[in-house]
Amino acid sequence: MTSAKKSKATKTTSLLPRWLSWALGIAFLVTAVSVSSLAYLTASAYWDSPFNPLDSNDGVAIAAQGELLDIESILGNNGTDAGLPPAVVTELVAQNEPFLVPTLESTGRTNILVMGIDRRPGEPYLSRTDSMIVLSIDPTENRAAMLSIPRDLYVTIPDYGQNRVNTAFVYGAQYGSPAQGAELAMETVSYNLGLPIHHYLTIDFNTFVQAIDTLGGIDVDVPTTINDTMYPDMNYGYAPLYIPAGLNHFDGELALKYARTRHQDSDFHRAARQQQVVMAVRERVLAQGVNGLLQQGPLLLNQFEEGIRTDLSPGQMLALASAASQIPAENIDTAVLDSNYVTPYTTPGGASVLILQGHLVGPLIQSLFD
């Protein structure tokens, strides 16, 4: 497998208002990361507790020590986002002067770990990651890839032993900052998949729902009728969900529900639906074009300011978005670490998790990212 090279940016002659350039730069990345926020409202988040449920399976068990670490106490003691890089648009809203849009010049592949953070508006940013997708952009081959990582994947977390992959963020942040949590999550994914991870981006579900509505909704071709009589509502009851097979137009809330439902199949099918939603958002953004973003850019920026965090610089985001916009849909490869690549396992503490099948995952990683 070839290693990714560091991307460089050069300037083109295109001039755009600064806020519009930011909107364009964020637009494609949001299509890739928006799905991460969908998992925030997964069914298990409501079966036991609406806020970071803690039980024998969801607590953080450090295998090397044989202890159960109380996630709630960690979140309560360090529930601040002071160490996280500021929202991507915080300092740019008031700047309207035109500037040159950078483009990618190098032949390197850039891999970004996008994470949905399990939090609601107004809550601290330090929470478990309920969804992870590795987004990869290769400008040389004009290709992109998305790989969904199940939250119950049992992995080695550097310096912390074995645990679910979705606990790495909290481990890294508990004695440092949320930014360090993101760094440990990147290191964990890289270590277990043998894949370099260069950047991270996090998003919350409310930002996704609002962005979908601002864009006017999305069109999704539903392959199989959804009839979920046990779809959970916000009050521990049920709100039956029915979506007919065929082409459907979703607003933000319905898109969230479509990606959240899983009772009729599995988490793996849900991950596939989430990727389907990502592609639908991408098509909607591309269809809007510059004129559409001119009309909706300020509102989108206001939404992004509160719900998206990243270590990508403005130039990197714009360069990646520029490269990604040139990649046709047929050149975007998608995969889920599903039952073809993992096997169920019960830990000594009784937690139900998933174990990677390395001899099968290796070829998949090569096919997607090589």
Residue holding tokens 């107004």? 122
Q: Which residues contact 366 (CB under 8 A, 6 or more apart)?
A: 1
Of 101-115, 129-143, 233-247, the least confident:
101-115
Tell me which residue of 129, 107, 109, 110 sits closest to 119, measured CA to CA.
129
Establish how many alpha carbons lie within 13 A of residue 350's alpha carbon, considering only the half-sphere containing its beta carbon: 6
Residue-wise pLDDT for 23-56, tens only, equals: 444 444 554 433 333 332 222 222 232 222 222 2
Average pLDDT, the chain: 71
Q: Which of 90, 97, 64, 60 is nearest to 75 (CA)?
A: 60
**Locate tokens 């050069």: which residue?**
10
Q: What is the pLDDT of residue 281?
A: 84
Count Cα neighbours of 165 within 13 Å in the Cβ-side half-sphere.
Answer: 28
Residue whose structure tokens are 């990197």: 316
Report which DSSP code applies to 152: T
pLDDT at position 239, please? 85
pLDDT recorded at residue 293: 59
Single-letter residue type at 187: E
Cβ neighbourhood burial of 242 (10 Å; 0-12, 13-18, 19+): exposed
For residue range 52-69, list pLDDT tens digits in order. 222 223 333 333 233 334
pLDDT at 64: 29
Whether pTM exceeds 0.75: no
How sure is the predictor about 94, in pLDDT bands with cuts at 50, 70 and 90? very low
Q: What's residue 120's pLDDT?
A: 55
CA distance linking residue 158 with residue 86, whole number of Å? 26
Q: How confident is the model at residue 328 (pLDDT cuts 50, 70, 90)?
A: confident
User: Are the C-beta atoms of residues 23 and 293 closer than 8 Å to each other?
Assistant: yes
pLDDT tens digits, residue range 9-23?
333 333 444 444 444
Rounded to whole angstroms, what are the CA distances from 298 to 53, 201, 301? 36, 21, 5
For 229, which DSSP code?
T
- Where does the pLDDT of residue 190 fall: very low under 50, low under 70, confident under 90, or very high at 90 and above? very high
Radius of gyration of the CA atoms of the chain, in A: 20
What residues are paired with 10 via a beta bridge? 103
Cβ(177)–Cβ(82) below 8 Å: yes
Please report the pLDDT score of residue 211 as a whole number.
79
- pLDDT value, residue 291: 56
- Domains in the chain and their CATH numbers? 9-221+282-369 (3.40.630.190)
Confidence of residue 342 (pLDDT cuts 50, 70, 90): very high
- Looking at residue 134, its pLDDT comes to 94
